[in-house]
Amino acid sequence: MKKFTGLAVSVLFAGSLCAQDEYVSGTFRSTQLINAQTVEMCPVGGPEFNIRHRFGVVGADTTAYQQFLGLDLPANIRLGFAFPINERLSIGIGRTKMRKFVDAEIKYIPLKQTVDNSMPVSVVLYANCGVRGERFPRVPSNSYYGDSLTPFEYKFEHRFSYNSEIIVARKFNDKFSLQLAGSYVYRNLVNPGEENGTGSVIISGMYATGMSSSLIFEYAYRFNNRPEGNAYPLAIGWEFGTVAHVFQLFLCSTNEIPEQEVYTGNPNNYFKGKFAIGFNIKRIMWRKN
């Protein structure tokens, strides 16, 4: 505990030392890069409204056109708001269609990359708590907890799951930015044989193709609770933005949206041609002074 406290104090102190430096701007175009959080913060000028949408999963076969690239299948969507407290801290809330999942988040940036490279990276701390709102399925009479002795029954705390991340990013030049994140998801209820906690490392980045457009990607490697067929979460796409909007269109390996599900579930096996089409929309609602 003393070591953790010392580290936290050091990070905050380092952040204060950089207070007079000129910071790098526009490491990414949005606070969200496909599924991953970025080191960008909600601007102080106004709250942020975001839409994350995933169509149904199809294969690289006849289902692709029979289901119109997944548009004919049930879709998943999340509507969310983020509110700036100051230029380094923001909070947010959202709701996802699948599992009627409601979540609240907090995001803090203690370190920012500087133009003179006295601070070569930006660092963000992120945490999210979500609760499942839909009804649990009926429990068979012969169901037990992991000890195989205690009869299983759903409890309210089983609805909760949590995600925490440390994100480190660098803008290398006007075209290329890269970030690495360590994620730890804890679910109060898991399937037999799974661990409650799941650790992942997430690499994501963007390469600018124009003044307002970029290629974007994300890949997440899981240290435990590994997915079937080693098909780890993967996504690649394209984005474009304006002063107040960012639109991202991509192919992804899952139509899950909350990080608690993306980084713990079994993505569709893209090695077998399975994929989903998704998009994200960000809108900053600037306030008039």
The predicted-structure confidence for 38-75, as pLDDT tens digits, reads as follows 999 999 878 999 999 999 999 988 888 899 999 999 99
Alpha-carbon span 272 to 63, nearest angstrom: 13
pLDDT at 3 over 90: no
Strand residues in 188-268 grouped as ranges (E):
197-208, 213-222, 234-241, 245-252
Q: What is the pLDDT of residue 289?
A: 58
The string of pLDDT tens digits covering residues 76-117 is: 999 999 999 999 999 999 999 999 999 999 999 999 999 999
Q: What is the pLDDT of residue 140?
A: 84
Give 165 or 20, the one with higher predicted confidence: 165
* Structural domains of the chain ordered from first start: 2-284 (2.40.160.40)
Q: What is the pLDDT of residue 20?
A: 60
Give the C-alpha distances (Å, rounded to integers) separating 136 from 99, 132, 155, 156, 254. 9, 9, 10, 10, 22
- Cβ atoms < 10 Å from Cβ of 144: 11
**Would you state the structure tokens that stand for residue 46, as one six-digit string?**
């106004």
CB 233 within 8 A of CB 35: yes
**Would you state the structure tokens that stand for residue 243, as one six-digit string?**
């002063």
Q: What is the pLDDT of residue 147?
A: 80
**pLDDT tier, 142 (very low <50, low <70, confident <90, very high otherwise):** confident
Hey, what amino acid is at 133? G
Kindly report which listed range (86-90, 145-149, 170-174) carries the lowest average pLDDT score. 145-149
pLDDT at 222 over 90: yes
Distance of CA 50 to the CA centre of its chain: 13
pLDDT at 8 over 60: no
CB 250 within 8 A of CB 237: yes
